Amino acid sequence: MSSSKNFPIKKSETEWRNKLNDEEFRILRQKGTEYPFTGKYNDHFDKGVYKCKGCDSPLYRSEYKFDSSCGWPSYDQALPGALLFIKDTSHDMIRTEIVCAKCGGHQGHVFNDGTTTTGQRYCVNSASIHFDGE
């Protein structure tokens, strides 16, 4: 699916493996999921910008982050145009997968059960992002 799309940033599997560690590769490039409550940004609330671990593209601002208690970093929105939304019917569920619009890196899924004003919960793997503090 997304691997057949033309993302602006394209790398071979070898290039991605050289750039990412095993866990990051499994999540970003193979649509894996980290264990809940284990990611480094789950309880992280500093001010700044969260960027794609694969390509450094800014994806979320710290103001978008909220404590959802779901075990993964949660945002109520993303920066405009930063993500693409893909229908995901795996695991007998209909979900909306979110991927980086620049490199296609898997971020997680977006759900309509957010507790903030947007009503949305962007449920993201810590391994898919890195933080740039202000």
Which residues are tagged catalytic? 123
Q: How far apart are CA 87 and CA 51, in angstroms?
A: 23
Amino acid at 130: H
Question: Minimum Å distance from CB 73 to Zn ion?
Answer: 16
Burial tier of 99 (Cβ tally within 10 Å: 0-12, 13-18, 19+): buried
Question: Minimum Å distance from CB 128 to Zn ion?
Answer: 8
Q: Which of 34, 50, 54, 98 binds Zn ion (CB under 5 A)?
A: 54
Question: Minimum Å distance from CB 11 to Zn ion?
Answer: 10
Q: H or E stretch including 111?
A: strand 106-111
Q: Name the one range near Zn ion by CB under 5 A: 45-53, 77-85, 89-97, 110-118.
A: 45-53
Q: CA-CA distances (angstroms) from residue 115 to 15, 40, 64, 77, 85?
A: 39, 22, 12, 12, 20
Of the pair 57, 125, the CB lying nearest Zn ion is at 57
Residue 108 binding Zn ion, by CB under 5 A: no
Binding footprint of Zn ion on the chain (CB under 5 A)? 52, 54-55, 57, 100, 102-103, 105
